[in-house]
Amino acid sequence: MHTSPLHPDFGLTVHDIDLRDVTADHLFPDIRRAFEEHSALLFPAQQMDDATHIRLAELFGPLENREAMAAGRDVAFEVSAVSNETASGVTDAMDLHTLNLQANMLWHTDSTFLPTPALINILTARVLPPSGGGNTELASTRTGWASMPADLKAKLKDAVIWHRLSHSRARISPELARLPEMNKWPDRPWRALWPNPVTGEESLFIASHSFSIEGLGLTEGQEVIDAAIAHCTRPEAVYSHQWAVGDVLLWDERAILHRGQPWDYSEPRTLKSICCSVTEADGLASVRLV
Residues 98-117 that bind Mn ion (CB under 5 A): 110
Residues 208-267 that bind ligand OGA (CB under 6 A): 258, 260
- 82 touches ligand OGA (CB under 6 A): yes
Nearer to ligand OGA, 41 or 159 (CB): 41
- 253 touches Mn ion (CB under 5 A): no
The item of Mn ion, ligand OGA, none sharing an interface with residue 129, based on CB under 5 to 8 Å by kind, is none
The nearest distance, CB 258 to ligand OGA, in angstroms, is: 6
- 110 touches ligand OGA (CB under 6 A): yes
- 140 touches ligand OGA (CB under 6 A): no
For 102, half-sphere exposure in the C-beta direction (CA atoms, 13 angstrom radius) is 19
Nearer to Mn ion, 110 or 202 (CB): 110
The nearest distance, CB 215 to ligand OGA, in angstroms, is: 30
The nearest distance, CB 256 to Mn ion, in angstroms, is: 10
The residue at minimum Cβ distance from Mn ion is 110
Long-range contacts of 101-104 (CB under 8 A, 24+ apart): 101/260, 102/172, 102/262, 103/168, 103/169, 103/171, 103/172, 103/176, 103/208, 104/259, 104/260
The item of ligand OGA, Mn ion, none sharing an interface with residue 156, based on CB under 5 to 8 Å by kind, is none
Q: Cα 276 to the chain's mean position, in Å? A: 11
The nearest distance, CB 155 to ligand OGA, in angstroms, is: 27
Candidates 85, 126, 82, 84; CA nearest to 247 is 126
The nearest distance, CB 259 to Mn ion, in angstroms, is: 8
Nearer to Mn ion, 110 or 282 (CB): 110
Which residues, at least 6 apart from 254, have a Cβ–Cβ distance to it below 8 Å?
119, 194, 196, 203, 205, 278, 282, 283
Return the beta strands (E) in the chain as ranges. 3-7, 10-14, 40-43, 80-83, 85-86, 89-90, 118-127, 136-140, 160-163, 188-191, 193-195, 202-204, 210-213, 238-241, 248-252, 256-260, 270-277
Nearer to ligand OGA, 193 or 275 (CB): 275
The item of Mn ion, ligand OGA, none sharing an interface with residue 64, based on CB under 5 to 8 Å by kind, is none
Nearer to ligand OGA, 79 or 170 (CB): 79
In what helix (H) or strand (E) does residue 177 lie, and over which residues does it extend? helix 174-178
Which residues, at least 6 apart from 130, have a Cβ–Cβ distance to it below 8 Å?
267
The item of ligand OGA, Mn ion, none sharing an interface with residue 202, based on CB under 5 to 8 Å by kind, is none
Residue choice 273, 278, 284, 287 for contact with ligand OGA (CB under 6 A): 273
Residue 221: is it exposed, middle or buried by C-beta count within 10 angstroms (0-12/13-18/19+)?
Answer: buried
Interface with Mn ion by CB under 5 A: which residues? 110
Interface with ligand OGA by CB under 6 A: which residues? 82, 104, 110, 121, 123, 136, 258, 260, 271, 273
